Structure 1
Amino acid sequence: MPLRLTTWNINSVRLRIDLVRRYIADHAPDVLCLQETKCINDLFPLGAFHDLGYRHCVVHGQKGYHGVATISRIPLERVESMILGGEDHARHAGARLMEGPFAGTVIHNFYVPAGGDIPDPALNAKFAHKLAYLDDMTLWGGNRLRQKEIMVGDLNVAPLPNDVWDHKKMLKIVSHTPVEVEKLTEAQSAGGWVDVMRQLVPDSEKLFTWWSYRAADWLASNRGRRLDHIWVTPDMAPGITKLDVLKDARGWDRPSDHVPVMAVLG
């Protein structure tokens, strides 16, 4: 049986639980990794997910900010929730699949800091934190076994020229600056990760997962960025059979500014 895995920055899971229900009804992922859940663990809507058939949850929450959650039909075991970048933020959760053909696979769910608006660590503490976080991801990646692992999430960096609407205009905009791209590339290389999305979609094609709330008409302007990612260890890369970026979700009622991204493995 294949594994259907989705990552989605939901931008408040309680506010947008009906959108999650809609997505699950239409696409039925086996595992759903959410970022920016924006609630403490005790307030996470576990009951809603249980009712939908997702009875296995690894939640790492924080009041009003950040937060990640991995929701699954398949039994999970929590493996770690790391603190990176020197700030005590809920930005990572690790979970191991315990049954089925992918038993033993570890899924890392990340929410990398956005970094504010000014791409200068001397002037912007949020940007300095982001760079420190990416550096810690590189150190972490270099110390792993590099087998049967998946890393997903809102990594808040669009690394390739066609991951943004205009490469030249975006070079001084946080999420596509050369220093961020360099550091994310280092993190990918240190962990030996394969970029699933670009394995299936050529680098020459535009590929976006995020459209700003600030755009008067996000669809007409299409000034998107690929901030959400799915990476796998090389042993898993040949098994990737499908990718689905649900752009239509950006047009739903009261949407997140990110859309769900699904990969099918096996």
Structure 2
Amino acid sequence: MANERLRAAMAAGGWTHDTLAQKVGIDPKSVERWVNKDRTPRQRTAMLAAEALGEDVHALWPALRQPRKARTISPELVALYPRRADLPIAAYAELFAQARERLEVLVYAGVFLHEGYPRLNELLEERAAAGCRIRIAVGDADSEQVQARGLEERFGHGIESRCRLALMHYRPLLGVPGVEIRTHATTLYNSIYRADDQMLVNGHVFGVNAYGAPVWQLRRAEDGGLFDTYAASFNAVWETARPVED
């Protein structure tokens, strides 16, 4: 069944499948399905298309008037741990060992990695030598954000010291091909540990040390899902971070 109203609106405005798709930022085949098979796009995409066509979005796609059934569990959620302390250090080592293309760590300190797995640097060197790109972002101990976090956790200057200690642990990797280390001064809402399409996310809770906050394990399964949200967050922090000099 064709969407005749959409077809008429496109014809009136001189829009083709290609030009409308380019305007909205999608594949032309999606527009073809809207027109010829009366498929309903996602809310945001539909609104962009309706704006371009000068039409009411609900007139083009009446189904959007009906609220979509909420997805109760993301298909990307593999496991949920109440506290980081519930997850053995071996889980991180196994995650990193599986990385083939990229390995990323975003923390304020995360010294538990080296304390629990002293061979971590050696593992990272092995992954880098195999062609894996490694990016590690540690908190800037002198930043206001890190100092504020210490006050929130009632940890005082302890977190600043642990940021410096984390950097000392990673310093032997400076100059290793394929390994980049930076310091960031952002408000960190989650610590992120990524290996290709798998990820561990340690949520940060006000007044609670990271080891007492939950961890969710993700595996990428769709575009624009939970995994991509946290991957984009890492990239945003990385762009603001400063390279550590040897």
Q: TM-score, normalised by structure 1?
A: 0.30
Higher strand share: 1
Which structure has the larger Rg? 2
Q: TM-score, normalised by structure 2?
A: 0.32
